[in-house]
């Protein structure tokens, strides 16, 4: 019950500015269960599956690869997102497992409905796969409410989307983002400490200079 409430919190937010503090308090509740992704997933791939059957794993891998596709840079597949989700789900609350258990057959039904000759999602062309996922994405961005926070985790697709992003970008020490693939994409160096200069604009900074006198306190 309370679980359900905290989950909805994400939807309740009205207009206030999204500060990082707000974000940190209003993470998708579904991520809150992925506790053990950590210890399990530190082990190197190929890892064994704990929750999905091999057949299911193929579909999950294919979906995640449309959410963050592979191009000249690695995508969800290379980052081992499948294993992040699998290990997370092995320790998820029954609720969250349910989203996947019910979501996969729904996905299959949608595939059959849209492409009657196709066997399964992973056997569609990439373009067809995107069409299916668009049809499942109830939360396409709306220009009117650009800052709507990630809507709740009700739908299978939204759950997959958030899990894929988390598995792609989490600190590689904690069970996803294999070999720092996701951080390569966003250009985050995989160091634990940094030194100035940090970026382009502070490179040639000459040091602090007081304001010229005449501009001083009015």
Residue closer to another protein by CB (options 8, 101) is 8
Burial letters 17-56, b for 16+ CB under 10 A, else e: eeeeeeeeebbbbbbebbeebbebbeeeeebebebbeeeb
Q: Which one of another protein, ligand FAD, none interacts with residue 15, CB within 5 to 8 A by kind?
A: another protein
Q: How far is the CB of 27 from ligand FAD (least distance, A)?
A: 13
Q: How far is the CB of 151 from another protein (least distance, A)?
A: 10
Point out which residues bind ligand FAD (CB under 6 A).
21, 24
Binds another protein (CB under 8 A): choice among 17, 46, 54, 116: 17
DSSP sequence for 166-178: HHHHS-GGGS-SG
- DSSP helix/strand/coil, 132: helix
Q: Which one of another protein, ligand FAD, none interacts with residue 166, CB within 5 to 8 A by kind?
A: another protein
Q: In whole angstroms, give the CA distance from residue 101 to residue 99.
A: 6
Q: How far is the CB of 182 from ligand FAD (least distance, A)?
A: 24
What token pair was written down for 30? 């579904």
Hey, CA dihedral for 14, 18, 23, 25, is it positive or negative?
negative
The answer to the question of residue 180 lying near another protein (CB under 8 A) is no
Q: Which one of ligand FAD, another protein, none interacts with residue 216, CB within 5 to 8 A by kind?
A: another protein
The answer to the question of residue 216 lying near another protein (CB under 8 A) is yes
Binds another protein (CB under 8 A): choice among 26, 56, 123, 179: 26
Q: In whole angstroms, give the CA distance from residue 138 to residue 23.
A: 21
């Amino acid at each position: 019950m309370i679980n359900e409430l905290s989950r909805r919190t994400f939807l309740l937010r009205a207009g206030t500015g999204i500060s990082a503090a707000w974000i940190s308090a209003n993470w998708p509740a579904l991520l809150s269960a992925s506790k053990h992704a950590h210890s399990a997933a530190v082990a190197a791939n190929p890892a064994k599956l704990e929750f999905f059957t091999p057949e299911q794993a193929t579909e999950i891998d294919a979906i995640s690869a449309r959410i963050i596709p592979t191009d000249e840079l690695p995508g969800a597949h290379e980052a081992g997102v499948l294993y992040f989700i699998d290990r997370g789900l092995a320790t998820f609350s029954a609720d969250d497992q349910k989203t996947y258990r019910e979501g996969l057959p729904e996905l299959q039904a949608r595939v059959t409905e849209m492409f009657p000759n196709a066997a399964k999602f992973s056997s569609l062309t990439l373009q067809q796969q995107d069409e299916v996922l668009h049809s499942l994405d109830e939360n396409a961005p709306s220009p009117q409410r650009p800052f709507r926070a990630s809507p709740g985790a009700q739908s299978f697709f939204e759950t997959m989307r958030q899990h894929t992003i988390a598995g792609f970008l989490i600190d590689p020490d904690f069970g996803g983002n294999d070999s720092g693939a996701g951080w390569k994409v966003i250009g985050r160096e995989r160091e634990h400490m940094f030194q100035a200069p940090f970026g382009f604009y502070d490179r040639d900074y000459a040091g602090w200079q007081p304001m010229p006198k005449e501009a001083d306190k009015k």
